[in-house]
């Protein structure tokens, strides 16, 4: 059998709206949880007269086993649908999600946004919708969860659906193309099997929606870009930077340059999961041995590219940003830390060129605040590789963090070298 196409999936949404329960449910329905574990907890639940709640027991059981240090992680976060092979990227905490999305260590090909039918969209629903869209998760599925708890009421579903649709539209998504599915992670409705409890719903199940996703584009035709996550020295081998190939193809004997450190070397070998690769393509997380470069010549935050088409070190750049969570207002002169691929560099906002508030253009451009979209000019305080998102999608996205939180997110549209 030909190997199924791989997809990275992230499950996001407001705290308590059912991310982990839905993850567990998906893995269970896909047959990805060890049947022994399920049987064990099913039996326990039955013995205690809680047979119908066995799923909750399984979930709690998994959590307990995890807390005891039993490794159920990696193996159990992969599952197959008819068409694809999915890895569920962990988004345990809100902050980790933001960080992982930006560094690209876990760039998601698709996201399931969970939203409780009881509560409708909440603060983190909004933030996750905005971030997922800005940070380039192209395909989104919305699961309106906890339908069992609202007695499968269509009006409740519609209310939550409209709320999430509004958020998706605000950041430019075409909601006609996004599936909204009434589910119960707890009871399994419309996850793999179409539910009889929602006769008013004629759309796909969650599994069908997953199979309807399209294969992510691999930008192999573009110049190579590998943001460096770490650099190791391995005895007998030499300097081994580690990173994810974002665009292009890396092959042994290629001459590469690391910017902004400006060090050049030759790729000697490429490894992924301790196996040598003849070449690395976008999506591959690799360690590659480079000759002619010492560990101290390069660092995390550098980007490797071909010497004849090197990554761009920006003097200044233009960006479109969305202010998400700033306690006051953003004005010219503000210099927060920008998280771009694996780099973290303080950058100054030098101009607010135009802005929109609640969909209307602003005439007063002296400040922007939460909810605003703006075009700004930015000047890094240290050399930084950033490139227009239209040319190098993962290298043009960033989050702006300050005071321990993500205050804004954005994409680079133009670069001044």
Under the binding rule (CB under 6 A), the answer on residue 145 touching ligand GDP is yes
Binding mask 148-177 for ligand GDP (x = CB under 6 A): xx----------------------------
Q: Which is nearer to ligand GDP, 90 or 391 (CB)?
A: 90
| Beta-carbon count within 10 A of 373 CB | 22
Give the DSSP per-residue string, 167-180: HHHHTT--GGGS-E
Name the minimum Å distance from CB 13 to ligand GDP: 6
Name the minimum Å distance from CB 10 to ligand GDP: 13
CA torsion 195-200-205-210 (nearest 10°) is: -160
From 16-24, 200-208, 344-352, 393-401, span contacting ligand GDP (CB under 6 A):
16-24
Under the binding rule (CB under 6 A), the answer on residue 185 touching ligand GDP is yes
Q: Look up residue 176 and give its two tokens.
A: 């006609």
Instruction: Assess contact for 197 and 274: CB atoms under 8 A.
Output: no
- Report how far residue 353's alpha carbon sits from residue 141's, in angstroms, rounded to the nearest whole number: 34
By CB under 6 A, what part of segment 44-83 binds ligand GDP?
Answer: 56
From 142-150, 256-264, 334-342, 387-395, span contacting ligand GDP (CB under 6 A):
142-150
Q: Which is nearer to ligand GDP, 55 or 334 (CB)?
A: 55
- Report how far residue 11's alpha carbon sits from residue 56's, in angstroms, rounded to the nearest whole number: 19
Q: Which is nearer to ligand GDP, 184 or 261 (CB)?
A: 184
Fill in the DSSP letter of residue 382: S
Q: Which is nearer to ligand GDP, 160 or 349 (CB)?
A: 160
Q: Look up residue 228 and give its two tokens.
A: 């460096």
Q: How many residues bind ligand GDP (CB under 6 A)?
A: 16
Instruction: Assess contact for 312 and 386: CB atoms under 8 A.
Output: yes
Q: Which is nearer to ligand GDP, 33 or 385 (CB)?
A: 33
For residue 394, give the H/E element and its range. Answer: none
Give the one residue of 76, 126, 146, 401 binding ligand GDP; rule: CB under 6 A.
146
- Report how far residue 239's alpha carbon sits from residue 254's, in angstroms, rounded to the nearest whole number: 15
Chain contacts with ligand GDP (rule: CB under 6 A) = 13, 15-21, 56, 145-146, 148-149, 184-186
């Amino acid at each position: 059998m030909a190997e199924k196409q791989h997809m990275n999936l992230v499950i996001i949404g407001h705290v308590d709206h059912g991310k982990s329960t839905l993850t567990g449910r998906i893995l269970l329905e896909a047959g990805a949880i060890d049947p022994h574990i399920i049987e064990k907890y099913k039996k326990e639940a039955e013995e205690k007269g809680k047979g119908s709640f066995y799923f909750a027991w399984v979930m709690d059981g998994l959590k307990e086993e995890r807390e005891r240090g039993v490794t159920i992680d990696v193996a159990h976060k992969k599952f197959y649908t008819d068409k694809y092979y999915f890895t569920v990227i962990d988004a345990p905490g809100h902050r980790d999600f933001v960080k992982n999305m930006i560094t690209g260590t876990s760039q998601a090909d698709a996201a399931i946004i969970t939203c409780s039918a009881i509560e409708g969209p909440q603060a983190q629903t909004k933030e996750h919708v905005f971030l997922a869209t800005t940070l380039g998760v192209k395909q989104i599925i919305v699961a309106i969860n906890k339908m069992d708890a609202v007695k499968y009421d269509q009006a409740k579903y519609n209310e939550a659906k409209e709320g999430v649709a509004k958020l998706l539209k605000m950041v430019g998504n075409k909601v006609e193309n996004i599936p909204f599915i009434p589910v119960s992670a707890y009871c399994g409705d419309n996850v793999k099997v179409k539910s009889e409890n929602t006769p008013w719903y004629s759309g796909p199940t969650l599994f069908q929606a997953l199979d309807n996703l399209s294969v992510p584009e691999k930008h192999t035709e573009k110049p190579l870009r590998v943001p460096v996550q770490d650099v190791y020295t391995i005895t007998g081998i030499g300097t081994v930077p580690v990173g994810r190939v974002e665009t292009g193809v890396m092959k042994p004997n290629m001459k590469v340059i690391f910017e902004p450190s400006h060090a050049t070397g030759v790729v000697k070998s490429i490894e992924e999961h301790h196996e040598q690769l003849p070449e690395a393509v976008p999506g591959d997380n690799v360690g590659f041995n480079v000759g002619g470069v010492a560990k101290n010549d390069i660092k995390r935050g550098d980007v490797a590219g071909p010497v004849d088409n090197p990554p761009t070190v920006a003097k200044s750049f233009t960006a479109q940003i969305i202010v998400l969570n700033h306690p006051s207002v953003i004005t010219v002169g503000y210099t927060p830390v920008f998280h771009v691929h694996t780099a973290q560099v303080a950058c100054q906002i030098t101009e607010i060129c135009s802005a929109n508030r609640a969909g209307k253009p602003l005439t007063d451009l002296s400040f922007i605040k939460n909810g605003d979209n703006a075009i700004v000019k930015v000047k890094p305080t240290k050399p930084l590789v950033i490139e227009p998102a239209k040319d190098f999608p993962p290298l043009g996205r960033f989050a702006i963090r300050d005071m321990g939180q993500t205050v804004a997110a954005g994409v680079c549209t133009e670069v001044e070298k």
